[in-house]
Structure 1
Amino acid sequence: MHKITTTLAILIFFSMGASAQQRIVLIEQFTNSGCPPCATSTPTILNYVDANPSDVVAIAYHTSFPYNDSMYFENPVQSTTRTNFYSVSGVPYSVVDGNYYSSSSSVFAGSMASVINTRKAMPAQYNISESSNSITGNILNSQITFSSLLASNVNDSLRAFVVVIEKTVLKSAYAASPGANSETQYEYVMRRMITTDSGTSLQNRNIAGSDIFNINWTLSKIKDINEVRVVGFVQNKNTKEVYQAVMFTPTVTAGIGEDLLFTAIDVYPNPADEKVFIQIRDPEFRGNIELTDITGRIIYSTIISGGSKVEINTTEISDGMYLIHCTNGEKSTTKKLIIR
């Protein structure tokens, strides 16, 4: 089990020259990898987020109902807390900026653009910015600053949230299917609410006052380090209104002792035409290589030792996107392969 270390430092400074960000709307999406309606509505909602990154961000919480869901079991306490916070009793369900709008996702999908456009036109009450945000080895280090834009914020009970999500999680990244619906990948999956599932109180809510959060977290349950994102948002504890939300992408840097599964696998040529080579550069490595399609069907599997190279004939494999899974003991990583 990974150890989680969180350090919070709260500082005060005043800057009357602070400029307001455009409001970015937060969609909190409640979903389940086993429910058929979720496979229809949740991708519609999150594809809109993908297409409008300057207007909206998302966090997807996987629920314990109506079916088993591996992503729920990877963080059941925080997922349940957030589900209960909004009294969500059925999925798929969408919550927009806390108290601004909420409904079943099938209903929300029809009015989503209008709801988001109306909400984003309202001035943000907070700025959220990053001073640093990086992953070295398997450690996430971030410094996130929450700055008040309104004098009236001092009268509100406000909580800061810093949430680690995985932007895209492939169904095939799991040894057993994480859910029985037709989805082959899951977007904006909540992995850890660093500032706890109830958030952390903002102390310096006077205009231009700032709270700075220094985050140090050991990655846990992450399937692809390159898909890690950090979402910060401010929420009124009493009214549930979200005042601002921003998503940041950490830079990934190599560090001493970094898991070689992330750095020492070469796949070439990619895209591949007639053949593809998989090479492990670490001479001490020994593990399993699998080539699967996006549904998880295994096309090729072998054991490979470090320093060796595998050649796969791709002439009999249909064109499309495939996944190469490399596993060494309890650790695994996945790389994409295009065959054409």
Structure 2
Amino acid sequence: MKYTYLFILSALVLLTLTSIPKTSAQQTNRTVLVEQFSNTRCGICANRIPTFWQTVSDFEEDVILLSFYSSTPYSNCELYQASRSLNDERISFYNIFGTPTLHINGERAPTNIWSNAASFLNGLTGSSSEIRIETGFSPSGSHGDGFASVLLYNEFEGLEEFVLHAYLVEKNVTAGTLPSYRNHHNVARIQLTPNTGLPIDKVADIQQNFSFDFEINQSWDNENLAVIAFVQGQNSSEVYNAAKGGAVISNTDAFGTEKKMSLFPNPAKNEITITTATGGKKTLQIFNILGKMVHKMEFDGPYTTINTSHFQRGLYLVRLESGGSPLRTLRLVLE
């Protein structure tokens, strides 16, 4: 009997050890995702949400708000009608019946959060995550090229499956008839990923890159658009990390098929070669996924070679200019 107990105890210990992620020295900041469900004609929403938004704003990049709109209590809510399927899908996902409602990191917020928001959010910020996300988009006329990059610092053995969700949002929107609730923030406009999300491989230290093509409404201002992406558990609904990124390249850039520039290899590791059929002096710029320029150079010949071994692995945009005018922009993957 003694040996039976020891065997059972050993099995339980082994099961516990295989159900937790492997430890990792690398971690990143965990951004809090607040999914807000409201209605532009809802009086209670008008009383609570503007003050809540001010609280969220105080946390700057540590908290991301993502706004959805319900047909409750009024189906003629204009922001609900503008993206009905997108809003209905997320409402159904959380089984939401009334507004205003908040889900924070995938979990429904307590009812007293409206009077205790600062303290509640403060208790969630400052934690770390072993999943890093970067996101953004590149506009070109009426077309958008969105992208997200996910890196897991460990293999998360035994845990649930992860999926990536991404939305194109308008950062500031004026809508509704209630004077105190006309300003709306991070309004979800386009769902860039499928309803069920995109599966993420639970493999450590391998950059996973995703891209999304979408049409940009002519009434939208590119400077007022952003992509919000987050990694969520497929079963628990827990949001493990989130990111928000805006336009990283001006909408005057050309993404056409004309062979004014090519680069190889792509994906690349330590070196890339840029070739061009355009004569004269040219300027080459490389931007990371957050829109930060990480490399700039000028060259005269038909090609140039760039050492990329010191670049962080991930997605980049390579832009070629001649005489101050953009010739072409290409996406580069470093792995």
The answer, yes or no, to whether TM exceeds 0.5 is yes
In structure 2, the partner of 1:59 is 66
Q: Does 1:244 align with 2:241?
A: yes
Q: 1:144 to 1:18 in 2, by over 3 A?
A: farther
Q: Does 1:77 align with 2:85?
A: yes
SS state at 2:181 partner: coil
SS state at 1:231 partner: strand
Q: Does 1:124 align with 2:121?
A: no
Residue 91 of structure 1, CA deviation: 0.6
Structure 1: runs of 5+ lacking an equivalent: 1-16, 172-177, 258-340
SS state at 2:29 partner: coil
Q: 1:210 to 1:155 in 2, by over 3 A?
A: farther
Q: Does 1:156 align with 2:154?
A: no
In structure 1, the partner of 2:169 is 165
Q: Which amino acid aligns with 1:140?
A: G
Compare CA radii of gyration and give the structure with the larger one: 2
Deviation track 1:181-221 (CA, whole Å, cap 9, x = no partner) reads 6422211111111002321111x212223321012211138
In structure 2, the partner of 1:220 is 217
Q: Which amino acid aligns with 2:155?
A: A
Structure 2: runs of 5+ lacking an equivalent: 1-23, 255-335
Between the aligned residues of both structures, percent identity stands at 23
CA RMSD between the two structures: 2.5
Alignment of structure 1 residues 119-268 onto 2, 5 Å: 119-130=124-135, 133-152=137-156, 155-171=159-175, 178-180=176-178, 182-202=180-200, 204-220=201-217, 223-251=220-248, 253-255=250-252
**1:164–1:192 contact (8 Å) kept in structure 2:** yes
Give the whole-Å Cα distance in 2 for the aligned partners of 1:169 and 1:18: 41
With normalisation by structure 2, the TM-score equals 0.63
Q: 1:122 to 1:256 in 2, by over 3 A?
A: closer
Give the whole-Å Cα distance in 1 for the aligned partners of 2:150 and 2:247: 18
**1:153–1:207 contact (8 Å) kept in structure 2:** no
Residue 256 of structure 1, CA deviation: 7.9
Q: 1:221 to 1:187 in 2, by over 3 A?
A: farther
Give the aligned length.
Answer: 231
Give the whole-Å Cα distance in 2 for the aligned partners of 1:52 and 1:123: 16
SS state at 2:168 partner: strand
**2:138–2:251 contact (8 Å) kept in structure 1:** no
Residue 156 of structure 1, CA deviation: 1.8
In structure 2, the partner of 1:20 is 27
**1:69–1:179 contact (8 Å) kept in structure 2:** no
SS state at 1:251 partner: coil
Residue 121 of structure 1, CA deviation: 3.4
Alignment of structure 1 residues 269-284 onto 2, 5 Å: none
In structure 1, the partner of 2:308 is none
Give the whole-Å Cα distance in 1 for the aligned partners of 2:26 and 2:217: 36
Q: Does 1:45 align with 2:56?
A: no
**1:33–1:181 contact (8 Å) kept in structure 2:** no
Give the whole-Å Cα distance in 2 for the aligned partners of 1:189 and 1:250: 16
Residue 20 of structure 1, CA deviation: 2.6
With normalisation by structure 1, the TM-score equals 0.62
In structure 1, the partner of 2:110 is 103
Residue 154 of structure 1, CA deviation: 6.3
Q: 1:121 to 1:109 in 2, by over 3 A?
A: same
Residue 180 of structure 1, CA deviation: 4.6
Residue 222 of structure 1, CA deviation: 5.3
